[in-house]
Amino acid sequence: MVTRRRKVPLERPDRPYVALGLEGSANKLGAGVIAHLPDGSTKVLSNVRHTYVTPPGEGFLPRDTAQHHRDWALKVIQDAFKQASLRPQDIDCICYTKGPGMGAPLHTVALVARTLALLYGKPLIGVNHCVGHIEMGRLITGAQNPVVLYVSGGNTQVIAYSRQRYRIFGETLDIAVGNCLDRFARVIGLSNDPSPGYNIEQEAKKGTQLLSLPYATKGMDVSLSGILTAVEAYTADPRFKTNAAGPQDETSNIITPADLCFSLQETVFAMLVEITERAMAHIGSKEVLIVGGVGCNERLQEMMGVMASERRGNVFATDDRFCIDNGLMIAQAGLLSYRTGFQTSFEESTCTQRFRTDEVHVAWRR
């Protein structure tokens, strides 16, 4: 069971509140410490992360990712406290990712969080990973009431806030945009360091041909599995050359990996811009907040910016310190929840691979 002392939106704290956040829903293990101060401000005290990187052409398996988290948990948490100049005894609560995510890594981080809570007598706060991204984005950018485009390796959603819930207006019907990009990066042998999505973005900058790919928006939703199949099919085309010398154009009759990365990005991002614009029109918003690991992509930010400017609106995004999975976002969302009286009992301190954004009671907002 969970406990909640009060249900009213937050007022300024009467003292500093400090939280440790632990994130490990995929291949990033993060620990962050954040403080809410009596003047109403928020202070980032530390944000430490370590990434499990696999060889080119390989993804990361749940078992191996969980082992990475076990190997690095102690150092990452120690570094987070060292950067914050605090001890575990100094914090108010321990926040961890309850879901969604990969089962084995989630369980590893939940176990670490429970252990720390028992050792130091601190309350536990289970946090929805998606809400963590949203609250971190709102904090860093200052966006007030935006339409949120949440794009990552495991999630693709268009979200807006209403009546203490983050409502999902549209989402992927099959695979997430980050998963689509990552899988194609493996097909063409791009490195996983620092991430396959980043390397797709860099390769796309060299592309010169926009190739035909399925454009699959379905109302407010998108479908990405067919696009992935179609772009993979180009790699079997006789015109596809992995080592074509010099820049190509539409008359060269040669298709390069850069052309495929460029075409995949342009098509998928156009779909995401379209459904985000529909949500903006529906709720009358002039703000877009892009969160999640794919939100670091500068081309996505550029395309969204063009759309928003045409609607006399603004786009908000963060850099990779806060866009990519991190413990700080879990600390921020968890501390907001803790200050409304929420706690997760040890009996309920489990995790779940399926934890939808709109299941969370956002008690800290009006």
CATH number, position 277 = 3.30.420.40
Cα–Cα separations (whole angstroms), residue 63 to 60, 66, 69, 232, 328: 9, 5, 10, 27, 24
Give a yes or no: residue 10 inside a domain. Answer: no
| pTM check: above 0.75 | yes
Same domain, 223 and 275: yes
Please name the residues in contact with 319: beta carbons below 8 A apart, sequence gap of 6 or more.
296
- For the chain, give percent helix, strand, coil, nearest 5: 40, 20, 35
Same domain, 123 and 78: yes
CA atoms within 13 A on the CB side of 361: 14
Instruction: Please give the span between the terminal C-alpha atoms of the chain, in angstroms, as a whole number.
Output: 24
Tokens of 25: 């829903």
**Residue 59 labelled as part of a binding site:** no
What is the structure's pLDDT at 247? Answer: 57
**Residue 297 labelled as part of a binding site:** yes
**Residue 319 labelled as part of a binding site:** no
Give a yes or no: residue 8 inside a domain. Answer: no
**What DSSP character marks residue 89?**
G
Amino acid at 363: A
Surface-to-core class of residue 89, CB atoms within 10 Å of its CB (0-12 exposed, 13-18 middle, 19+ buried): exposed
Give a yes or no: residue 290 inside a domain. Answer: yes
**Residue 133 labelled as part of a binding site:** yes
What is the structure's pLDDT at 113? Answer: 98
Instruction: Confirm if 322 and 23 have CB atoms less than 8 A apart.
Output: no
Give a yes or no: residue 304 inside a domain. Answer: yes
Give a yes or no: residue 1 inside a domain. Answer: no
Give a yes or no: residue 5 inside a domain. Answer: no
Same domain, 32 and 110: yes
**Residue 154 labelled as part of a binding site:** yes
Same domain, 281 and 334: no
**Residue 46 labelled as part of a binding site:** no
Same domain, 209 and 78: no
Tokens of 58: 């390989």
Using DSSP bridges, classify how beta strands 287-291 and 147-151 pair: parallel, antiparallel or unpaired.
parallel
Same domain, 51 and 167: no
Instruction: Confirm if 259 and 207 have CB atoms less than 8 A apart.
Output: yes
Same domain, 73 and 194: no
**Residue 101 labelled as part of a binding site:** no
Give a yes or no: residue 362 inside a domain. Answer: no
Same domain, 111 and 215: no
Give a yes or no: residue 363 inside a domain. Answer: no
Same domain, 130 and 153: no
Structural domain for 70, as ranges: 17-135+323-348
What is the structure's pLDDT at 7? Answer: 43
Tell which residue, 106, 13, 2, 1, has the closest CA to residue 336: 13
What is the structure's pLDDT at 4? Answer: 37
Amino acid at 28: K
Alpha-carbon span 354 to 100, nearest angstrom? 5
CA atoms within 13 A on the CB side of 35: 16
Same domain, 28 and 131: yes
**Residue 193 labelled as part of a binding site:** no
**Residue 150 labelled as part of a binding site:** yes
What is the structure's pLDDT at 2? Answer: 40
Residues of the chain with pLDDT under 70: 1-8, 244-252
Same domain, 284 and 165: yes
Same domain, 193 and 312: yes
Count how many domains the chain has: 2
**Residue 151 labelled as part of a binding site:** yes
